[in-house]
Structure 1
Amino acid sequence: MVAMRSIWSFCLIILFLLGGSGKATAGELSERLAHFPQWEKLTSVQPASGDLIYPEWMAGSWQVTSTLVDLAAPLAPDIVTPGFESNRQQLNQPVSFLVRFVLEKPTVTGLKLIPKINNKSSILIADRAFNSLNLARAYLGDEAVLSVKVDPDSPNRQITFLRGERQLVSIVTARSTENTSDSNFITAEVFQQLFKGGSRPYFNSVESTTAYQKLAQSSPAITADQVTAVYLSPQDPDYFTADSRPAALYRYRLEFFPAQVPNTPQE
């Protein structure tokens, strides 16, 4: 059986593999990261539409090491999210998995064509099915995760199928991006999670801000600072008491090392 605390840890990091475009107010995202754990609700996000377009320096295949380096419960002791205390065991415990970012021709989003980048005919996006499958198996084990399916009509919706007829549905609803320099790229996403297959469905809202930095002639080649905020579900009796404040905050360090991976998603 898949442990719920493992599913919870996996839910927290799946964000950076999803996403879409949208511009943040200049400096807002970097300011949020600088003021951890004093976290305020993100105000500049826009409705999710289309893929997140990554900078060219993230192209290719990567061995990612993710490490939980800090966590906080701003509303404790009155309100503590499920799994928060058990997640302390994940502190400073690296988890590794393969990801890749691939070129794709721009597509029409609504009535607007996604623009070319530097006059090139392709944009760089995450291989969501491949990345999420590898991440899920790294956290939950190969036998626990059956497959990951991305909605063909929306890159912002995907389902992770787990053994025992369980499913994790993840839907990106809003996001922002910020470029502070040619070697720095910051994203913020808000998404809804629905875990089905337990005694009752569990729903929550998660917001994550991730700052990627390209390093010059270094290993790792890219690092990222990620803060994930967990908000209570409307079904939680303390939902109105929380008053839109995060009930849990998790800070991760991501390191990207060049890797060679297969050309087709793993099944």
Structure 2
Amino acid sequence: MLLQLVSVQSAAAASDRGISFLEQRFESWPQWSLPAPLPRPRAKQDLIYPDWFSGIWEVTSEALDDSGQPIPNDPPLVHEVRFLRNRRSELIGDRPFNAAAVGKALLGEQLLSVEQDSSQVNRQLARFRDDVLLETTVIGRRETSPKEASNFFSDELVLQILHGPGAPRLSRIETLTHYVRCGDDICADQRQVSHAGPGLKTDQTLEGRSSRFRLTLRPLALEQG
């Protein structure tokens, strides 16, 4: 019994440390000179969301400046996302569907398809017109407990490789999002910084570019209990 209590206490302490790290990281944006030291997920280890994400949602994404004000003449991006259960009944994002929905909203018919790597949940391939291929792999992740009633942080670092004319172009993008329940909706503040990929330290077009978005998720179809 004592060992069980110690284990519970240790797990709670680890969760608290995760929250503290992500909160500090969130507040320090956009001063992210390097990607966060996030644990690398295993091949079958997906991001687990709280149960209150279940269902299909319409997302409105508004671009903000560093102070949190909407950027003039930059219309919101609207798309759908959905969340489903894995074999362990954990709630995960439908990554290929969600990536395709965002891509179609942003790029229209330029996006042809999004494919999920069958051997690892953290890798997708997006195919575009003119023989362009975007390879996206999650190489780091940290999140708070999905059991939280109304508050959730997730931080992911992805490696993107753009294949097309010329040499492949690499970049690393860290996306830290704070979600809260707001009535029937979910509200989120998403902060992002792009870093040059390995071996591209002098590429000033990628390194240190920051973005911020306000997300509102409105329910379209909730999961049936």
TM-score between both structures, scaled by the size of structure 2: 0.80
Amino-acid identity (%)? 31
Distance in 2 of aligned mates of 1:208 and 1:199: 28
Matching residue of 1:97: 79
Q: 1:26 to 1:98 in 2, by over 3 A?
A: closer
Superposition pairs of residues 206-217 of structure 1, within 5 angstroms: 206-217=173-184
Q: How does 1:218-233 map to 2 (within 5 A)?
A: 221-233=185-197
SS in structure 2 at match of 1:26: helix
Are 1:51 and 1:155, in contact at CA under 8 Å, matched by a contact in 2? yes
For residue 179 of structure 1, report the CA deviation from its aligned partner: 4.2
What is the correspondence of 1:183-262 to structure 2 with a 5 Å cutoff?
183-217=150-184, 221-236=185-200, 238=202, 247-260=208-221
The aligned amino acid for 1:226 is: Q
Counterparts of 2:209 and 2:100 in 1: how far apart (Å)?
25
- In structure 2, distance between residues paired with 1:223 and 1:198: 39
Q: Distance in 2 between matches of 1:151 and 1:232?
A: 24
Q: Residues 68 and 90 of structure 1 are in contact (CA less than 8 Å); yes or no, is this contact kept in structure 2? A: no
More off after superposition, 96-105 vs 56-65: 96-105
Give 2:46's aligned residue. 51
User: What amino acid sits opposite 1:188 in the alignment?
Assistant: D
- Give the superposition deviation at 1:128: 1.1
* Secondary structure of the corresponding residue to residue 54 of structure 1: coil
Aligned match of 2:144: 178
Alignment partner, residue 33 of structure 1: 26
Shift of 1:233: 2.8
Query: Would you say the 8 A contact 1:173–1:190 is kept in 2?
Result: yes
Shift of 1:145: 1.2
* Equivalent-residue separation in structure 1 for 2:102 and 2:169 (angstroms): 21
Correspondence for 1:166 among 125, 132, 143: 132
Q: How many residues align?
A: 202
Contact 1:69 1:92 in 2 (8 A): no
Between the aligned partners of 1:91 and 1:236, the Cα distance in structure 2 is 32
Q: 1:179 to 1:92 in 2, by over 3 A?
A: farther
Partner of 1:136: 103
Contact 1:68–1:91 (Cα < 8 Å) also in 2? no
Q: Following TM superposition, by how much is the alpha carbon of 1:37 offset from its aligned partner in structure 2, in angstroms?
A: 2.6
Number of the residue aligned with 2:11: none
Aligned to 1:16: none
**How far apart are residue 100 of structure 1 and its match?**
0.3
> In the aligned structure 1, how far is the partner of 2:124 from the partner of 2:72?
25
TM-aligned CA deviation for residue 248 of structure 1: 1.3
Give the match's secondary structure for 1:28.
Answer: helix
Determine which structure has greater relative contact order: mean sequence separation of CA pairs < 8 Å that are 6+ residues apart, divided by chain length. Answer: 1
The letter of the residue matching 2:200 is D
Unaligned runs of 5+ in 2: 1-13
Bigger helix fraction: 2
> Among residues 30, 50, 65, which one is paired with 1:70 in the alignment?
65
In 2, the alpha carbon distance for the partners of 1:57 and 1:171 equals 26
Quick one: structure 1 residues 92 and 178, their matched pair in 2 at CA, closer, same or farther if it must change by over 3 Å?
Answer: farther
Are residues 168 and 90 of structure 1, via their aligned partners in 2, closer, same or farther at CA, if it must alter by over 3 Å?
A: farther
Alignment deviations for residues 54-113 of structure 1 (CA, whole Å, 9 cap, x no partner): 1000000000011110259xxxxxxxxxxxxxxx9887420000110011222xxxxxxx
1:35 deviation in Å? 3.0
Q: TM-score, normalised by structure 1?
A: 0.68
Contact 2:80/2:101, CA 8 A, preserved across alignment:
yes
